[in-house]
Each structure stands twice: as structure tokens, then as C-alpha cells.
Chains A and B, each alone.
Chain A
Amino acid sequence: GENVEQHPSTLSVQEGDSAVIKCTYSDSASNYFPWYKQELGKRPQLIIDIRSNVGEKKDQRIAVTLNKTAKHFSLHITETQPEDSAVYFCAAPNSGNTPLVFGKGTRLSVIA
């Protein structure tokens, strides 16, 4: 089955700096890669996703890049703000239309 590894587990950045979180996956047939943000005490919520037919997707200050050859995808947050502090999870399906496998999460702290 799919194995999703996420790094780093914790990340601290100064406000205004960029943050990058990377995930690797094992199943080359995986074709959908979402990123979820979970604020303290809240539910995980999708912030951006990418499908295997594109290499990059942007939405304001966040972007996701996908390298299918290397089987990794990354979340990029620019101009970080204190409200970006949260746990971020990447995910990938086992194969085809099977449930998402989530990474272990990255706790991002943005220091004002």
C-alpha cells in the first residue's frame, strides 16, 4: 500500500519568511495530492490540492509542486504570517480511488 512520509515534523520560521514542507509517496499510480491545515483544536481543512497532470499550482501565498518522477510533492508558503501557525498534513491515495493515506504532519510555528 501507499506510504507517505512527511518532513520536517516541526518547523519554525520568522514572520515574513517562507516555509517549505515536503512529502514523498511510494505508489507511482497515485494521482491526487492534497494538503490539509489543522489549527489547534480544530478539524483538518483542505488548503490546496494538485493532480498528477500538472506540476505546480498556486493560490495566493501557498503553492504546491509535484515531481512524479521522484515521487515527491511540496507545500510552499510565502510571506508567512502568525495565522499560518498550524499542523499541515499531506496525503496521497493508496492507488486509484482508495482512501487517502496521510503523512504524520508538520507543526509550523510562525514567530512574530
Chain B
Amino acid sequence: DAGVIQSPRHEVTEMGQEVTLRCKPISGHDYLFWYRQTMMRGLELLIYFNNNVPIDDSGMPEDRFSAKMPNASFSTLKIQPSEPRDSAVYFCASSLQAGRNIQYFGAGTRLSVL
């Protein structure tokens, strides 16, 4: 397996624009997680899915953030409208179980909102 695949690797956009981040989990993994990493706040869990169903989105900072998982092999994280404070590295991860197995991280998307 190629591992967790994220795209794009880098995104530079202007404030107010819509941003869509994409993730393909490892085949067979039932759980998918979206994280945001910043120097100030560390690694924050935004939302996670089990079998394509969102289980907990309490980490999503605002209504401007939304995530979907239309099928077992694809998920998106959308920010609309984007703001400079959204600048961060966004990681997607997948695992067989939520808290009992290895989480495999994607390479991340570095987002810069100008």
C-alpha cells in the first residue's frame, strides 16, 4: 500500500478563498482522522470518521471548517472562507482502530492564507 495520500502538498491562497484538502486513507482502515499542526497549539484533532461516518467533530474550530467522507477511500477537509489564522500544516491519518492501533499519517498539506 502507498500509505495515506494527501493533496495538495502545499497550498497558498488569499483570505476569503475556499480551500479543499484531500485525503486517501490506507485501504482497509476503518478510521480516518484530520489534524491541524501549529507551533502554538501542537497537533490538534479536528474530526474523525469511522466507516465513513463522522463520529466527533468537536475539534473543528469554526463553521468555516467542514469535512466529508463520501466513501472508504476519500475524504475532504474544506475551509470556506479561509483566514490567515488557518495557516498551518493539516495532516490526515488512518488506522484500524481509533485508539488501540498505529495511526499512519499522510505527508500533510502546508496551507498558507495570505
Q: Give me the 5 closest cross-chain CB pairs, A-B, nearest first.
A: A93-B99, A43-B105, A102-B43, A104-B42, A97-B98
Instruction: Tell me the total A-B contact number using a CB cutoff of 8 A.
Output: 50
Of chain B, the residue at the smallest CB distance from A45 is: B105
User: Which B85-114 residues sit within 8 Å CB-CB of chain A?
Assistant: 91, 97-108
Provide 6 A-B residue pairs closer than 8 Å at the C-beta atoms, listed in order of the A residue.
A32-B101, A34-B103, A42-B107, A99-B33, A99-B56, A100-B99
The distance in angstroms between the C-alpha atoms of A94 and B45, with both chains bound, is 12
The distance in angstroms between the C-alpha atoms of A31 and B97, with both chains bound, is 13
Bin the interface of chain A by size.
Answer: 20 to 34
Q: 7 extra interchain contacts, Cβ-Cβ under 8 A, other than A46-B103, A99-B48, A101-B45?
A: A32-B101, A45-B105, A92-B99, A94-B99, A96-B99, A100-B103, A102-B43
User: Which A64-112 residues sit within 8 Å CB-CB of chain B?
Assistant: 89, 92-94, 96-105
Of the residues A32, A101, A104, contact of B100 by C-beta under 8 Å: A32
Contacts of A92 in B (CB 8 A): 99
If A44-B91, A105-B42 touch, does A98 touch B105 (CB 8 Å cutoff)?
no
Contacts of B33 in A (CB 8 A): 99
The distance in angstroms between the C-alpha atoms of A104 and B38, with both chains bound, is 10
If A104-B42, A105-B42 touch, does A93 touch B105 (CB 8 Å cutoff)?
no
User: Which of B33, B91, B98, B104 has the most C-beta atoms of chain A within 10 angstroms of its own C-beta?
Assistant: B98
The distance in angstroms between the C-alpha atoms of A21 and B104, with both chains bound, is 22
